[in-house]
Amino acid sequence: MKKKERASFILDYLERIYPETPIPLNHKNNFELLVAVLLSAQCTDERVNKVTPALFLKGNDPISMAKMSIDEIHYCIRSCGLAPKKSKAIFGLSKILVENYNSEVPESFSALESLPGVGHKTASVVMSQGFGHPAFPVDTHIHRLAQRWGLTNGKNVIQTEKDLKNLFPKEVWNKLHLQIIFYGREYCSARGCDGRDCEICKTCYPKRKSALKTKKP
């Protein structure tokens, strides 16, 4: 298969398996989504969904969150990885949203990425899943799978995002990035598949004999 053929097969196959793509992080507004995505760094979505109810009960908008102390925020999210750093970031971005953005989550990449603790991937999730703008958030899982499936050379996540955007039409980006994540968790995880076991890997590379080593971001 050529790269475009692989991309076409993957797109069709994932659409059959995952016609619906609910956002895995529980949230009721864009501020909660922003905080939840920030918390998901080096932490599972399942863990995030366990800690956010107590956090959002006290602060589900920038104003109420900014009234909490960093210690109060930390207490709610203490079981998440990098909790001390994330607590400061959540408090800091909440104050900035209150002071500079009328307590609203800004609808632009540049504004989002200027907030404490918010990188390009987090901003991409908020822009795509919160505001509906075409984006292709690339986390470590998508970076790994894109290499396994021969869609990128794996140089870095920036290159992976660029390659995926060039391969797939813009109108499917927001859904496809979730479909890839779902598939990776269920069929092509880091330990569950080495590039030869799942249906996509076997179809894209039927003659692959040895395990594929992927480059980390």
- The verdict on 110 and 52 lying in the same domain is yes
- The verdict on 93 and 66 lying in the same domain is yes
User: What pLDDT is attached to residue 48?
Assistant: 98
User: What pLDDT is attached to residue 155?
Assistant: 86
Provide the CATH number for the domain around residue 13: 1.10.1670.10
DSSP single-letter state for residue 1: -
In a domain, 81, yes or no: yes
User: What pLDDT is attached to residue 217?
Assistant: 80
- The verdict on 118 and 81 lying in the same domain is yes
Residue with tokens 């016609």: 19
Q: Which residues of the chain are under the pLDDT cut of 50?
A: none
- The verdict on 105 and 148 lying in the same domain is no
User: What pLDDT is attached to residue 178?
Assistant: 97
Examine the residue annotation and report whether 162 is marked as an active-site residue of this protein: no
For CA atoms 86, 88, 92, 94, give the dihedral sign.
positive
4 in Cβ contact with 167 (< 8 Å): yes
Contacts of 8 (CB under 8 A, 6+ apart): none
- The verdict on 119 and 47 lying in the same domain is yes
What are the angstrom distances between the C-alpha of 117 and each of 1, 114, 133, 184, 186? 40, 9, 21, 26, 29
User: What pLDDT is attached to residue 216?
Assistant: 84
- The count of domains in the chain is 2
58 in Cβ contact with 72 (< 8 Å): yes
- The verdict on 119 and 90 lying in the same domain is yes
- The verdict on 35 and 124 lying in the same domain is yes
Examine the residue annotation and report whether 121 is marked as an active-site residue of this protein: yes
Q: Pick from 130, 158, 180: which residue ends a domain?
A: 130
User: What pLDDT is attached to residue 195?
Assistant: 94
Provide the CATH number for the domain around residue 65: 1.10.340.30
Q: Pick from 94, 111, 130: which residue ends a domain?
A: 130
In a domain, 122, yes or no: yes
The one catalytic residue in 139, 175, 202, 216 is 139
Q: Pick from 75, 98, 130: which residue ends a domain?
A: 130
- The verdict on 37 and 126 lying in the same domain is yes
User: pLDDT tens across 149-192, in order?
Assistant: 999 998 899 999 999 999 999 999 999 999 999 999 999 998 89
In a domain, 209, yes or no: no
- The verdict on 37 and 119 lying in the same domain is yes
Domain extent, residue 8, equals: 3-20+136-204
DSSP line for 101-135: STTS--SSHHHHHTSTT--HHHHHHIIIIIT----
- The verdict on 105 and 181 lying in the same domain is no
The one catalytic residue in 50, 71, 95, 121 is 121
